[in-house]
A and B are shown apart, each in its own frame.
Chain A
Amino acid sequence: MNDDYSDGEVELLDGLHRLHPSAPAADIRERFRARTAAYRPRRTPHRSAVLLALAAMLLLTVALLRSHDRDNHEQETIGLQRQLTAALQNLSAATRLQAINTAKSAPAGDSVVTAALVSALLHDQNANVRVAAAEALAQLAPSRAVRLAAAQGLATERSPFVQVALLDVVRQLQPADRVHIVRQLLAQPDLDADVRDAATQLSTL
């Protein structure tokens, strides 16, 4: 490697090589294991089935409880919308992430919640929040708003992680919409190689 470099450059590279390594906290592996244990791959059929069953039970319970009082139901929905909209303005990315997770319990097709998720997807500064918003949108029915958000998001998003999450949204769309959006994405000259692979696979579905 050193054949490529002048003596001065070799001296600097040698200095860089001898920098003292920095050590992480002693409990980092245990904390990572805890996070891994909580990790649930979304595409594993068995786990998806369990999650679907749990979600169905939850929805059924909620439906039964709320059927007693329609007014209360509407009030709760409005309250959830307000909480979500306010939480997504919070300075803490962790709070915004929590808000998006809460939004998943909103009634399916709620336009206010969908609009809040789209706004987070397109405008939030934190990539993890944008990924969470994309994942939440991927669980919604592929409405016109969701389709437009996916197209606009992929046209402007530069984070490969968010782009891959958005491809999961695109996966839910009609074939014609899907092909159109993926083609536009693949036309980007500086597209991340992993994203290009994922998009190419999607275009062959």
Chain B
Amino acid sequence: MPPFPEPSDRALMHDVQRGDLAALDMLFARHHRRLYSFLARLTGDPDAADDLVQDAFLRLLRFKASFRADGEFIPWLFRIARNLAVDRYHGAEPTSASASDALVAESDGALDVLLRDERQHQLEQALATLPLAQREVLLLHGTEHLSHRDLGAVLGCTEGAARVRVHRALAALRGAWHATTGEPR
């Protein structure tokens, strides 16, 4: 066990609220990769994701007073990032699949890895064809493993509504995936 346990996100956020920028730097170091991955897939634009990650943490400074003492940090952070992305595109859907293409790792040549990567690539392609509203639901719940409750907190809806959105987005993804692979439904 380390002599000094790592402070929780919530404790760091409380330090940020007291004006401690070093705590913000620690939160950035801890979460920026995860947030970047989400935003790169959501926008389909790695350069935009790079900007949005930094903007999200700067917004976190601006909104620091609204973080509640008993609040959950991750849903709050994703909510800020998601709102920034929605603002940036302001009705114009980001549809580029360039980021998805860039995300597929090179195969090492083994057949099973090749097949798995092919399926992953098809899933990426199918995901990139969905509207932003469905893509964010799938990325937050499926890839980032946010619970229905936390997903509702990010999207500003109830837990039940979030559950319904996930089912609908999965149905849309299934349709897009079959369209991508050419397989019958």
A interface, CB within 8 angstroms of B: 1, 4-5, 8-9, 12-13, 15-25, 28-29, 31-33, 35-36, 39, 41, 44, 125-128, 159-161, 164, 190, 192-194, 197-198
A160 to B84, CA, bound (A): 9
Task: Across the interface, name the chain B residue whose C-beta is closest to A31.
Answer: B54
Q: Is the CB of B156 within 8 A of A159?
A: no
Quick check: B33 and A20 within 8 Å, CB to CB?
no
* Contact present for B103 and A22 (CB under 8 Å): yes
A32 lies within 8 A of B37 (CB):
no
Q: How far is the CB of B121 from chain A (nearest CB, A)?
A: 10
CB-CB nearest in chain A for B41? A22
In the complex, the answer to whether A41 meets B54 with C-beta atoms within 8 Å is no
Contact A161-B49, Cβ < 8 Å, known A15-B123, A16-B143, A31-B54: no
B78 within 8 A of A: no
In whole angstroms, how far apart are the Cα atoms of A96 and B145 in the complex? 39
Given A29-B29, A29-B32, do A24 and B53 touch, yes or no (CB 8 Å)? yes
Residues of A within 8 A of B49 (CB): 22, 24
Q: Are A39 and B58 in contact (CB-based, < 8 A)?
A: yes
Are A22's CB and B123's CB within 8 A?
no
Listed by A's residue number, 29 A-B pairs whose Cβ atoms lie within 8 Å are A1-B145, A4-B163, A9-B167, A12-B123, A13-B142, A16-B123, A16-B138, A16-B139, A16-B143, A19-B124, A20-B103, A21-B103, A22-B40, A22-B49, A23-B33, A23-B36, A24-B32, A24-B36, A24-B50, A24-B53, A25-B50, A32-B25, A32-B54, A41-B19, A126-B90, A159-B87, A160-B83, A161-B83, A194-B66
Closest approach, in angstroms, between the C-beta of B106 and any C-beta of chain A? 10
Main secondary structure on B side of the interface with A: helix
| 5 A-B pairs with least C-beta separation | A16-B142, A127-B87, A24-B36, A194-B66, A22-B40
> Taking the nearest CB of chain B, how far is it from the CB of A71, in angstroms?
42
Q: Are B145 and A17 in touch, CB under 8 angstroms? A: yes
| Complex CA distance for A40 and B170, rounded to whole angstroms | 43
- Rounded to whole angstroms, the CA-CA distance of A83 and B58 in the bound complex is 29
Chain B: which residue is nearest A198 at the CB level?
B66
Q: Are A125 and B145 in contact (CB under 8 A)?
A: no
Interface hits, B147-169 → A, CB 8 Å: 147, 156, 163, 167
The answer for the CA separation of A186 and B107 in the assembled complex, in Å, is 54
In the bound complex, residues from chain A placing their C-beta under 8 Å from that of B103 are 19-22
A193 to B68, CA, bound (A): 12
- Least CB distance, A47 to chain B, in whole angstroms: 10
> Which of A20, A25, A29, A41 has the most C-beta atoms of chain B within 10 angstroms of its own C-beta?
A20
B56 to chain A, nearest CB (A): 10
A126 contacts across to B, CB distance below 8 A: 90
B126-154 interface bits toward A, Cβ cutoff 8 Å, 1 = contact, 0 = none: 01000000000011011101010000000
Please give, as numbers and ranges, the residues of chain A lying within 8 Å of B32 by CB-CB distance.
Answer: 24, 28-29, 32
